[in-house]
């Protein structure tokens, strides 16, 4: 049995770039039919962004649009509006992420779509919540990160590198898509009770801030006591009245740090992350494997609070132990993990993408794209289901499914040919849109 959870769900996907497409990509891999509306002639901007070959769609596009159907449609034209209206009339979900006000201008606001099809759920992504003073800003990934405390709390806390820093993780883009997917799935369940579609508004700001919740926790603590024990600045430095950057400390109460391992002089990722848990038993096991039994009776180290106050000395001794023993990041992991010490090697992208075990478990999957692209790797559905295994079809060419989709909606060959000539589904010969 391999029943796709979203089998029979039809999604009209008016999204582009990363945030919206990452959402509809997940819905598609879970079995929904995704009809991707693309502007005639140009399509999703990522098709031609960061290309590895001028004749091929970029990996950016390829990694976010597997299995979707591409329908080119100028929704600003009379016929384009009529076609989109028809698509919406039988859709379960309509999703868009145009700049603020653009969808209203095209005539397909939530209110309009709800009138056309009361069962249709409407998902929208914008940079900011409607109540925000920034609600009208266009938004890309860094806009979300810099306004949701991600950048101000990430990076080094002293010296010349003490500048707001971007996370490599797409906290504003794909993370927003995943948040919207949760909202849309909730709306689908809700519809089984109400019979009606709802409006799911997801801002990049809220999605990013949701992942920065622990930084708001830190602000509350700072407001109360003026310091944060898990930070390297504690106990010797004065804290500002806002949460500073935390370097590589662990976000919770356990004491974690990134340690240099064998080869660090030439390999910028020859590091391992090691955590000292707060519990007495865990600490006893850890000191045994390091050979630091003297810490069990040393008041500077024999309680978690004492270790927080002396983390400089703790880190220095662990660091020396690794380098004296000439251990690489994998050996550090192999040595400490059996003693129950939370530890892991810092892995670079090459190491991850060469790890066969990740392909065996479908964390990473290979998509066979016809033509010059051939096989490429992407990250699959990030969770597993015991009774469903997703498949990973290739990505559509621009407008590759236009005729097929229009036929399904009852348009004749003559009408389809006319739409291609009058600027509805293909650019006009003179380039006018
Ligand atoms: C990403 C973003 C900054 C790009 O802005 P942009 O360059 O103005 O591009 P958009 O796709 O929003 O819209 C451009 C125009 O194309 C039009 N357009 C797009 N697809 C169309 C179609 N199929 N038919 C007709 N018009 C179309 C829009 O209506 C808009 O017209 P307007 O400027 O006259 O109002 C903006 O869309 C945005 O802020 N989106 C919300 C947040 C978001 O999701 N960001 C992306 C994160 S990965």
Which of 318, 313, 352, 348 has its CA nearest to residue 336? 318
- The CATH architecture to which 255-341 belongs is 2-Layer Sandwich (3.30)
Q: Which of 22, 102, 134, 137 to mutate to test the pocket of ligand 1 (most atoms within 8 A of CB)?
A: 102
Q: Does residue 425 have its Cβ closer than 6 Å to ligand 1?
A: no
Q: Is 173 a catalytic residue?
A: yes
Query: Ligand 1: distance of its center to the CA of 127 in Å?
Result: 12
Structure tokens of 35? 């009809």
Give me the catalytic one of 74, 173, 218, 308: 173
Q: Does residue 104 have its Cβ closer than 6 Å to ligand 1?
A: no
Structure tokens of 181? 């997917």
Beta-carbon contacts of residue 314 (< 8 Å; ≥ 6 apart)? 255, 276, 301, 307
Atom of ligand 1 lying closest to residue 37 CA:
23
- Which residue puts its alpha carbon closest to atom 7 of ligand 1? 99
Quickly list DSSP for 383-413: S-BTTB----PPPPPTTTTHHHHHHHTT--H
Q: Which of 99, 105, 137, 200 to mutate to test the pocket of ligand 1 (most atoms within 8 A of CB)?
A: 99
Which of 27, 45, 18, 59 has its CA nearest to residue 171? 18
Query: Could you tell me the CATH superfamily of domain 10-210+358-421?
Result: Crotonobetainyl-coa:carnitine coa-transferase; domain 1 (3.40.50.10540)
Q: Does residue 17 have its Cβ closer than 6 Å to ligand 1?
A: yes
The H or E element containing residue 376 is strand 374-379
**pLDDT for 430:** 66
Q: Does residue 157 have its Cβ closer than 6 Å to ligand 1?
A: no
Which of 120, 115, 96 has its CA nearest to residue 180? 96
Atom of ligand 1 lying closest to residue 127 CA:
42
- Which residue puts its alpha carbon closest to atom 39 of ligand 1? 138
Structure tokens of 345? 């090697």
* Total-model pTM: 0.97
Query: Ligand 1: distance of its center to the CA of 98 in Å?
Result: 4
- Which residue puts its alpha carbon closest to atom 23 of ligand 1? 39
Beta-carbon contacts of residue 284 (< 8 Å; ≥ 6 apart)? 296
Query: Ligand 1: distance of its center to the CA of 328 in Å?
Result: 48
Contact predicate 344/270, CB 8 Å: no
Q: Which of 47, 60, 94, 98 to mutate to test the pocket of ligand 1 (most atoms within 8 A of CB)?
A: 98
Atom of ligand 1 lying closest to residue 173 CA:
48
C-alpha distances out from residue 88 to 39, 93, 361, Å: 17, 8, 37
Query: Ligand 1: distance of its center to the CA of 209 in Å?
Result: 23
- pLDDT tens digits in sequence order for the chain, 433 residues long: 789 999 999 999 999 999 999 999 999 999 999 999 999 999 999 999 999 999 999 999 999 999 999 999 999 999 999 999 999 999 999 999 999 999 999 999 999 999 999 999 999 999 999 999 999 999 999 999 999 999 999 999 999 999 999 999 999 999 999 999 999 999 999 999 999 999 999 999 999 999 999 999 999 999 999 999 999 999 999 999 999 999 999 988 999 999 999 999 999 999 999 999 999 999 999 999 999 999 999 999 999 999 999 999 999 999 999 999 999 999 999 999 999 999 999 999 999 999 999 999 999 999 999 999 999 999 999 999 999 999 999 999 999 999 999 999 999 999 999 999 999 999 997 655 4
Q: Does residue 37 have its Cβ closer than 6 Å to ligand 1?
A: yes
**pLDDT for 110:** 98
- Which residue puts its alpha carbon closest to atom 21 of ligand 1? 39
Q: Where are the domains of the chain?
A: 10-210+358-421, 255-341
Query: Ligand 1: distance of its center to the CA of 99 in Å?
Result: 5
Contact predicate 248/325, CB 8 Å: no
Q: Does residue 36 have its Cβ closer than 6 Å to ligand 1?
A: no
Atom of ligand 1 lying closest to residue 102 CA:
35
**pLDDT for 251:** 87
C-alpha distances out from residue 137 to 169, 211, 219, 224, Å: 22, 21, 26, 34
Q: Does residue 79 have its Cβ closer than 6 Å to ligand 1?
A: no
Q: Does residue 140 have its Cβ closer than 6 Å to ligand 1?
A: yes
- Which residue puts its alpha carbon closest to atom 30 of ligand 1? 102
């Amino acid at each position: 049995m391999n029943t796709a959870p979203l089998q029979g769900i039809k999604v009209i996907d008016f999204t582009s770039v990363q945030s919206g497409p990452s959402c509809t990509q997940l819905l598609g891999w879970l079995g929904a039919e995704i009809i991707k509306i693309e502007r005639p002639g140009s399509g999703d901007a990522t098709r031609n962004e960061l290309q590895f070959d001028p004749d091929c769609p970029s990996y950016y596009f390829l990694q976010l649009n597997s299995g979707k159907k591409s329908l080119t449609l100028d929704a600003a034209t009379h016929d384009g509006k009529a076609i989109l209206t028809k698509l919406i009339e039988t859709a379960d979900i309509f999703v868009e992420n145009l700049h603020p006000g653009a969808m209203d201008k095209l005539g397909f606001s939530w209110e309009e779509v709800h009138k056309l099809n009361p069962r249709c759920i409407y998902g929208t992504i914008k940079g900011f919540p409607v109540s925000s003073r920034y609600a009208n800003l266009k938004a890309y990934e860094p806009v979300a990160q810099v306004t949701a405390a991600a950048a101000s709390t990430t990076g080094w806390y002293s010296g010349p590198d003490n500048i707001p820093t971007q996370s490599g993780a797409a906290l504003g883009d794909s993370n927003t898509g995943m948040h919207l997917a949760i909202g849309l799935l909730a709306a689908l369940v809700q519809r089984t009770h109400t019979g009606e579609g709802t409006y799911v508004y997801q801002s990049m700001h809220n999605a990013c801030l949701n992942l920065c919740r622990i930084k708001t926790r830190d602000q509350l603590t700072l407001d109360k006591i003026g310091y944060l024990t898990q930070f390297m600045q504690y106990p010797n430095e004065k804290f500002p009245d806002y949460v500073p950057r935390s370097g590589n400390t662990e976000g919770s109460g356990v004491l974690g740090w990134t340690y240099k391992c064998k080869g660090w002089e030439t390999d910028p990722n020859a590091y391992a992350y090691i955590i000292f848990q707060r519990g007495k038993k865990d600490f006893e096991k850890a000191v045994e494997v390091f050979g630091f039994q003297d810490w069990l009776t040393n008041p500077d180290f024999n309680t978690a609070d004492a270790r927080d106050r002396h983390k400089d000395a703790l880190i220095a001794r662990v660091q020396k132990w690794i380098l004296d023993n000439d251990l690489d990041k994998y050996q550090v992991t192999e040595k400490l993990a059996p003693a129950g010490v939370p530890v892991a090697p810092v892995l670079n992208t090459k190491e991850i993408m060469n790890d066969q075990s990740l392909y065996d478990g479908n964390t990473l999957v290979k998509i066979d794209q016809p033509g010059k692209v051939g096989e490429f790797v992407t990250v699959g559905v990030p969770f597993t289901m015991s009774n469903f295994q997703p498949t990973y079809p290739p990505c559509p060419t621009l407008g590759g499914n236009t005729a097929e989709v229009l036929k399904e909606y009852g348009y004749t060959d003559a009408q389809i040919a006319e739409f291609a000539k009058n600027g509805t589904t293909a650019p006009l010969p003179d380039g006018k849109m």
